[in-house]
A = this chain, B = another copy of it.
Amino acid sequence: MMAAPKKSQGVREESLYDLAELFKLFSDSTRIRILYALIDRELGVGEIAAALTMTQSAISHQLRLLKQSKLVRSRREGKAVIYGLADGHVLTILNQGMEHIEE
C-alpha cells in the first residue's frame, strides 16, 4: 500500500519538546546498546551489565530512564528483575535510524 503524503500541519509546538525528550533516550550509546541487547531476549540487570561490560549501577540508572519513558518494561522474577522491550515502536525507531546510517 502506498503511504499517504506526509502531513506536517497540526503538530503542536508542545509535542516537539516531548519528541526531543523521546529521542534523547536513543541518543546515548549505553542505552542503545541496552535496547539492542533486549531485542533477542529478556535479560536481568546483571546480565545486561555483563554483556556491555559496565557496572550494574550504570545500567540500572539507564534502565530507569528507559522504563520511565516506556521503552522497556520489567517484571520481578525471584531476586532478579527482568527487562524487555516495551513494544514494537522501539524496534521500528531503531531500524529507521539504522537505515539512515547505512545509506
Contact = CB atoms under 8 A, between A and B. Distances in A.
Bin the interface of chain A by size: 35 or more
When all copies of this chain in the complex are counted, the total is 2
A96 B93 contact: yes
Contacts of A16: 29, 32-33, 36
Q: Is the interface of A mostly helix, strand, loop or mixed?
A: helix
Contacts of A13: 33
B89 A23 contact: no
Contact of A23 (B18, B23, B33): B23
Nearest to A20: B29
A27 B29 contact: no
Scoring A11, A19, A31, A101 by chain B CB atoms within 10 A of each residue's CB, the highest score goes to: A19
